[in-house]
Amino acid sequence: MTTQDKIYELLSVIQRTAVQGGDVALGAAYLTGQKAEELLDTAKLLFRANSLERDIDQRMRAMGELLYATHTGSPTASEVLHDRLQEIDGLKAELEALNVQLGREKPAPKCSACGGAVQDGDKFCRSCGEEL
């Protein structure tokens, strides 16, 4: 084997090593990008959950003010109270779903017939009366 052949062989080994190193670097960059995307998605979910918690807190305070106004002689129409409570229920359901998605809590058991909330020990659904 001539010196020139040895140099070509050495250059070939260097080229293969460089290509392999580039492939490893590309794979690492891809995995880093995926992890960054996962972290961003989680941060968005956490931000939304915190926003919902603040919104629920504000609405609960407003409900307390309506209740106190009723106590002091300025009753609020029951339809208004019902609508506000329904809004809070919707926000709490959305927050619960986010918390499940984030792994903060397990999903609450639901009635197979109507999807209503079920508690441990219930024999019948509190919403539709279906036997559980």
In this predicted model, what pLDDT tens digit does every residue of 59-78 receive, in sequence order? 999 999 999 998 999 988 88
Q: How far is CA 111 from CA 3, 91, 92, 118, 122, in A?
A: 81, 20, 18, 6, 10
Angle between helices 78-101 and 3-71 (to 10 degrees): 160
Instruction: Read off the pLDDT band of 54 (50, 70, 90).
Output: very high
Q: What is the pLDDT of residue 59?
A: 96
Average pLDDT, the chain: 90
Classify the phi-psi angles of 110: left when phi > 0, otherwise alpha if psi is within -120 to 50, otherwise beta.
Answer: beta
Give the residue extent of every domain in the chain: 3-101
> What's the whole-number mean pLDDT along residues 74-103?
92
Q: What is the pLDDT of residue 21?
A: 92
DSSP 3-state of 120:
coil
Instruction: Read off the pLDDT band of 87 (50, 70, 90).
Output: very high
Residue 121 vs residue 62, higher pLDDT: 62
Q: What is the pLDDT of residue 121?
A: 83
Q: What is the pLDDT of residue 18?
A: 92
pLDDT beyond 80 at 106 = no
C-alpha to C-alpha distance for 83 and 86, rounded to whole angstroms? 5
Q: How far is CA 14 from CA 18, 24, 26, 28, 84, in A?
A: 6, 15, 18, 21, 71
